[in-house]
Amino acid sequence: MKIKSIIFAAVLFCSVSFSMNAGAYSCEKKGYGQGTAVDSGNCPTGAADFNNANRQYDAYALTSEENRIILTFDQGYENGYTAPILDTLKEKNVKAIFFLTGDYAKKEDKLVQRMIDEGHVIGNHGMTHASIPELSDSEIEEEIMSLHNFILDKYGYEMQYFRPPCGEYSEQSLAVTKELGYKTLFWSFAYVDWKTDAQPEPGEALERISGAGHSGGIYLLHSVSATNAQVLGDAIDSLRSKGFVL
């Protein structure tokens, strides 16, 4: 009986959110990926499937807006290209979402303030970039809200979007994130620009980014690649020429 009681207690801890209001959810760790299959509108079917399965948690890999594409940048460290990217976004009149880690928010205050001043959205990428589904409910709260409160105190900005580091999640982590007042944003297109020593030629990079356009797209980019920064303006122009709004 003692062993059964311990097992029951462990399952209960894993299955019920910290507020006890969300019900029972799976703690199984999952890694998000949109896959390569697309529908007739070039939209990744994996992203659409994720939306259908997880919208109850305010978790999305696509937006519902036809012909709109949202550019998002994960900001883990600075490599000298964020300022040129901000220059391009300002020139093209595009607002993006920048998902900050705690380390970036603390070290790069001038760039963060510029993002805010120029009308971009600041998103939460976790104080320590921890694997969210590996944390307890209270640890998830600390990981998200410690950065939330830091940004609020230092910059006077209140974040509302969270991106789980490495795209790792569980039903439980999505539910806890929602209870903290956050929407979770994944992506429907990821450009592998974080491998800075293995970037394609600019023309190929441009084709990858512009060729992936689809309605409701959420693009995952990083600001650490010289190639990325170089082709961003042309990619925006190309996507707009195809009828997309950024």
Q: What is the per-residue pLDDT across 53-72, written as a single tens digit (0 to 9) for each?
A: 999 999 999 999 999 999 99
pLDDT for position 6: 38
- Mean pLDDT, the chain, rounded, equals 90
- Residue 103 above 90 pLDDT? yes
The stretch 46-56 carries a mean pLDDT of 97
Q: Is residue 100 part of a domain?
A: yes
Band (pLDDT 50/70/90 cuts) for residue 23 is low
- Residue 102 above 90 pLDDT? yes
Q: Is residue 246 part of a domain?
A: no
Q: Is residue 230 part of a domain?
A: yes
- Residue 22 above 60 pLDDT? no
Among 58, 74, 137, 193, the active-site one is 74
- Structural domain for 176, as ranges: 2-241
pLDDT for position 194: 66
- Taking only the tens place, the pLDDT of each residue in 188-239 is 999 876 666 766 788 888 999 999 999 999 999 988 888 888 999 999 999 9
Q: Is residue 20 part of a domain?
A: yes
222 is catalytic: yes
Residue 186's φ and ψ, nearest 5 degrees, are: -95, -130
- Taking only the tens place, the pLDDT of each residue in 120-135 is 999 999 999 999 999 9
49 is catalytic: no
Q: Is residue 93 part of a domain?
A: yes
The CA distance from 157 to 126, in Å, is: 16
Q: What is the CATH number of the domain that holds 196?
A: 3.20.20.370
pLDDT for position 205: 86
The stretch 140-150 carries a mean pLDDT of 98
- Residue 5 above 80 pLDDT? no
Domains of the chain: total: 1
Bridge partners of residue 121, in order along the sequence: 97
Q: Is residue 120 part of a domain?
A: yes
Among 120, 125, 148, 222, the active-site one is 222
Q: Is residue 97 part of a domain?
A: yes
Q: Is residue 28 part of a domain?
A: yes
Could you tell me the pTM of the whole model? Answer: 0.89
What long-range pairs does 152-155 form, CB within 8 A, spacing at least 24?
A: 154/105, 154/109, 155/112, 155/113, 155/116, 155/122
